[in-house]
Amino acid sequence: MNQLSRKSSGNPTPQETLPAASTPYLLDVVQAQKRSEPRGIYSVCSANRFVLEAAILQARADGSFVCIESTSNQVNPEGGYTGSTPADFVLFVREVARDMNFPVERILLGGDHLGPFPYQAERASTAMDKAREMVRQYVLAGYGKIHLDASMRCADDPAGPLAAETVTQRTAELCAVAETAHAERPAGSLPPLYVIGTEVPIPGGEQDATEHLVVTRTADAERTLSLTREAFAARGLQGAWERVVGLVVQPGVEFGDAIVFGYQRGCAAELRAFIEGQGGIVFEAHSTDYQTEDALRALVEDHFAILKVGPALTFAFREAVFALAEIEREWLGQRKGVALSNIRVVIEEAMLKNPGHWRSYYRGDPEQLRIARQFSLSDRIRYYWPQPPVAAALSRLLANLTQYPAPASLISQYLPVQHSALRQGRTSADPRSLIHLKVLEVTEAYARACGMMTPVASSLGTGSYGAA
C-alpha cells in the first residue's frame, strides 16, 4: 500500500499541478486576525494517505479549506524520504482529492522549511544551488504557501548560529527564485504567499525533558522582519514582501519522546503585542502537536494563526491500527483459513532491521527503546508505514476486517469513541472509517480552535463521516 503512488513525468503540466485558488482563504484568515477576530488555519504536515483523507473529511464537513504541507526533507527534487518530488506529491494529493470527490481548489499546499536543510552536509554554494532548485520545483508544481528557511549552517559556514544577515540574504535569494518560477506558471495563476523565520529549537519534536524552552524575544522577531524586508528590497522583491503573511517564532510549545511543553500564553504576551502592529503578518507556530484544545485556541487568539501539526495525526493513525490489530487477533485468531496480519511484529522487525529513523532519537535500555519505538510521541514509526512489508501487513489487516467485520462489542473495547459513532449510525465497522474517525479526533480539536468548524460538523456530535 504505497502512500505516494503517482509519479510525474518531469516538469509538471497544468493537469499535474494544483491551482493556488485557495490562497485567498489564508489571506482572509490574516485579515480577520487584524480585525481582532480569533480565526486560524491548521496545516496538516503528513504524507500518510489515511491522515490526508481524514483532513479532507474534516474540511468537507466544515465547508472549509484544507492546508496540506510537505517538508524539505520529506519531498524534494531528489525524492526526500518519501521518494517523492514536489510534482509527485501534487499528483498524489490530486489523486486523494479525486477519490474523495473533493475539489482541488479547496486545497492549499504548503512547503515547509524550504532551504538548505536537506543539504547541510554540503558546502553552502552547493547546498543553496540545490535549495534554489527545490523552491523552483515547489512553486512550479502549484504550492501556494512557501516557508523560506535558510537558518541552518552548511558544511563550510562558520561554527555557531548563522549570522542573521546571512540568513536573510539567502532567504531573499530563494524568494527571487520562487518569483521567477511563478512567472513560468500558467497565466492567471495566483502568486505564492510566503512565511519567513524559524523556530528555536530546531523542529522535529525532539526536546529532552530536561531542556527549557526559550520563547522568541520580541527584539529578535523584529530584527528578522527588518533584515528580511531590507534583503527583499535590495533584490527588487517589494511585491513579494507584500505577500509575506507569516513569521515563524517559538511561542514555547514543543514535544519530545514522552513530554509535551504546553502553551503558557503569559510568556508570549510581548510577541502578541508586537505582531498586532505588523500589518498583514501573523505568527506561524510549529510543533503544536499534543497541545490541548484550550491551548490551541489560546494560540489562535494570540495571533499564532497558522498551526502546524503532523506527528499527532500519525500517532492517532498508529493508535487506530494497533487497536484494529488487537480486534483482529481476538476476532480472527482462531478462525481457520485466515492469515493474520501480525502487523505489530512486522513493524517491530522493520524498525530493528532499519534503525536509521529512530536510533539517534530514543534513549534507554532495550525495554525502554521497545516502548519508544511503538509509543513515543515523536512517532518515528511514521517513517516505516510505506515500507513494503509493513504496507503489506496493513493491507492484510484491512482486508481481514473488511471480509469479516468485527462485532460492535470488540470495537467498543478497543475504539470506544468510534463505537459510539457506530451505535449512532454515523459510521460502519469498516476499518478504514474507524481509522478516519480516530484521526478526526485530532483534526476536530484544531478545527474548533481555529474557528473553522460548524456546530453540526462533528463526528463526536451530530455530523456524519463515512468511508471515502
Q: What is the CATH classification number for the domain harbouring 318?
A: 1.10.400.20
Q: Residue 32: which domain range?
A: 14-310
CB atoms within 10 A of CB 454: 12
Q: Are 346 and 389 in contact (CB under 8 A)?
A: yes
pLDDT per residue as tens digits for the range 77-106: 999 989 999 999 999 999 999 999 999 999
User: Same structural domain for residues 185 and 57?
Assistant: yes
Q: Report the relative pairing of strands 254-255 and 260-261 from DSSP bridges.
A: antiparallel
User: Same structural domain for residues 301 and 319?
Assistant: no
User: Same structural domain for residues 52 and 134?
Assistant: yes
> C-alpha cell of 328?
483482529
Q: CA-CA distance, 421 to 263, in Å (whole number)? A: 31
* pLDDT for the residue 204: 44
Query: Cα-flanking dihedrals φ and ψ of residue 230, to 5°?
Result: -65, -40
Burial grade of 209 (CB within 10 A; 0-12, 13-18, 19 or more): exposed
User: Same structural domain for residues 301 and 352?
Assistant: no
* pLDDT for the residue 294: 98
Of 83, 79, 88, the residue nearest 387 (C-alpha): 83
pLDDT-based confidence at 9, cuts 50/70/90?
low
pLDDT > 70 in the chain, percent: 90
Length of the chain: 468
User: Same structural domain for residues 242 and 339?
Assistant: no
* pLDDT for the residue 20: 56
User: Same structural domain for residues 359 and 393?
Assistant: yes
Q: Are 165 and 153 in contact (CB under 8 A)?
A: no
Q: Are 2 and 90 in contact (CB under 8 A)?
A: no
Between 407 and 22, the higher pLDDT residue: 407
Which residues have a Cβ under 8 Å from the Cβ of 40 and sit 6 or more positions away? 29, 33, 299, 300, 304, 305, 306, 307, 449, 450, 451, 452
Q: CA-CA distance, 11 to 349, in Å (whole number)? A: 38
User: Same structural domain for residues 284 and 245?
Assistant: yes
On the question of pLDDT at 461 being above 80, the answer is no
User: Same structural domain for residues 29 and 112?
Assistant: yes
pLDDT-based confidence at 460, cuts 50/70/90?
very low
User: Same structural domain for residues 272 and 341?
Assistant: no
* pLDDT for the residue 23: 86
> C-alpha cell of 203?
523542529
pLDDT per residue as tens digits for the range 206-226: 545 445 688 999 999 999 999
> C-alpha cell of 280?
498583514
The last residue of one of the domains, among 310, 330, 347, is 310
Residue 463 lies in a domain: no
User: Same structural domain for residues 38 and 159?
Assistant: yes
User: Same structural domain for residues 251 and 348?
Assistant: no
pLDDT-based confidence at 463, cuts 50/70/90?
very low
Which residues have a Cβ under 8 Å from the Cβ of 353 and sit 6 or more positions away? none
3-state secondary structure of 335: coil
Residue 9 lies in a domain: no
pLDDT per residue as tens digits for the range 275-298: 999 999 999 999 999 999 999 999
pLDDT per residue as tens digits for the range 339-381: 999 999 999 999 999 999 999 999 999 999 999 999 999 999 9
Q: Which residues is 448 bridged to in the sheet? A: none
Q: How many domains does the chain have?
A: 2
Which DSSP state fits 122?
A: S
Q: Report the relative pairing of strands 282-285 and 244-248 from DSSP bridges.
A: parallel
Q: CA-CA distance, 59 to 175, in Å (whole number)? A: 30
Q: Are 318 and 381 in contact (CB under 8 A)?
A: yes
User: Same structural domain for residues 286 and 391?
Assistant: no
